[in-house]
Amino acid sequence: MPLYIVVKTLLFSESSRLQGEDVPSISGWLLIGLLAFSLLIGLASVAPAAMASAGEKTGIELKPAIEVKPVILTSIKPLTMIATAVLGDQVEIRQLLPDQEIPHHYALRVSDRRLFDQNQLVLWIGPELETFMGALVAEREPRSVITAAELNGIVWPEAVERGRDYHLWLNPDNALLIARNLVQRVGEFSGVNKAVLKARLQKFEDEITTFKQTLSERLLPLKNNKFIVDHDAFRHFTETFGLHGAGYLRDSSGLEIGARARAKIMSHEGIRCVIAEPESRIDRLQDLATKWKAKLAIIDPLGAEVMLTRETLPNEDSKRSSSAYIRMLSGVTQAFYHCLRGE
């Protein structure tokens, strides 16, 4: 007897036929469900073998349609720039703070906490800069965190009374150290191409070497020109390239200095440049610049306006195009250069 007749006989009850209806009975519906489930199980077991067989016949490695990449969480944009330069598309990079947000006094939101739990590696500066992250980082496995301020080899500027400057990414040597540690740690993850990571790291190292040499030569004639900064956030940059500031109005953590220290700064003469940041009280700093007959420059140490990627310009070799980190540091250099020259 043909199979379809057997199935139909089992599916439809006697009472249904007597009434002239061709409607499955309850037991028939159950059988339909069982047959459908068996068919799905059969397809699931056959599909992988079929894919493997097809791959063997064509010589093409068949991969799943969706590949899940390791997720790297950076705290602030400068670290995102460094991570993007050396990791590229080998991982998914997520940034905790919005580009324009200042890390000193940030308060975590519920969505931030969820983001913090959905990654394989966290890259941050340290509790002195991102105080809001300390408790969450402490709960993680040590190998799932890179604390830049604790890396062996980080170069620190000369200490001042109000403490260290933790804007350490503004020294390109520190950026390179962070990049090397990041590549080493990410290279331990499955699914990443170590050869690609090595090549990207080498390109970043070459960029840093060329950039440092060019920058040192350009700023050398300005090393004796005095400047004041609103926020003590640039010592990693200025000391690396031989520039010497005459003081600051807010310490590295963003707190105002005392009246005595402020009076000492105001007594300086020969100030050529006043450095502000986007969140500074520009009107107050402009008054100071006017008093000293100095130029005012606004510089963002976080590089909030710098795009992580950009289109390659006509006739430009894409392999030689600068990373966002280099473009950010170039912007800082340009601003200091023109301000110290009185332009």
Measured from the Cβ of residue 80, the count of other Cβ atoms closer than 10 Å reads 24
Maximal C-alpha separation, the chain: 111
Confidence of residue 145 (pLDDT cuts 50, 70, 90): very high
Average pLDDT across the chain, whole number: 83
pLDDT at 38 over 80: no
Q: Percent of the chain having pLDDT more than 90?
A: 59
Q: Is 88 exposed, middle or buried (0-12, 13-18, 19+ CB in 10 A)?
A: middle
| Helix-helix angle 324-340:77-87, to 10 degrees | 130
Q: What is the edge-to-edge ordering of all strands in the sheet holding 145-147? A: 92-95, 71-74, 121-124, 145-147
**Given this model, what pLDDT does residue 6 score?**
45
pTM of this prediction? 0.78
DSSP letters, 36-74, are HHHHHHHHHHHHHHHHHHHHHHHT-----S--PPPEEEE
**Given this model, what pLDDT does residue 25 score?**
55
Confidence of residue 257 (pLDDT cuts 50, 70, 90): confident
**Given this model, what pLDDT does residue 265 score?**
87
By three-state DSSP, how is residue 83 classified?
helix
Measured CA to CA, the distance from residue 343 to residue 327 in angstroms comes to 21
Confidence of residue 47 (pLDDT cuts 50, 70, 90): very low
Measured CA to CA, the distance from residue 204 to residue 186 in angstroms comes to 16
Q: What is the pLDDT of residues 114-129, one digit of tens each?
A: 888 889 999 999 999 9
| Helix-helix angle 324-340:194-219, to 10 degrees | 10
> 22 or 165, which is more confident?
165
Nearest 5°: phi and psi at 225? -80, 130
pLDDT at 293 over 60: yes
Confidence of residue 33 (pLDDT cuts 50, 70, 90): low
CB 146 within 8 A of CB 122: yes
DSSP letters, 254-317, are SPBPPHHHHHHHHT---EEEEEE-TTS-HHHHHHHHHHHT-EEEE--TT-TTS-S--PPPTT--
Q: Percent of the chain having pLDDT more than 70?
A: 76
For 157, the enclosing helix (H) or strand (E) is none
Q: Is 306 exposed, middle or buried (0-12, 13-18, 19+ CB in 10 A)?
A: buried
**Given this model, what pLDDT does residue 46 score?**
46
Pairing label, strands 145-147, 121-124 = parallel
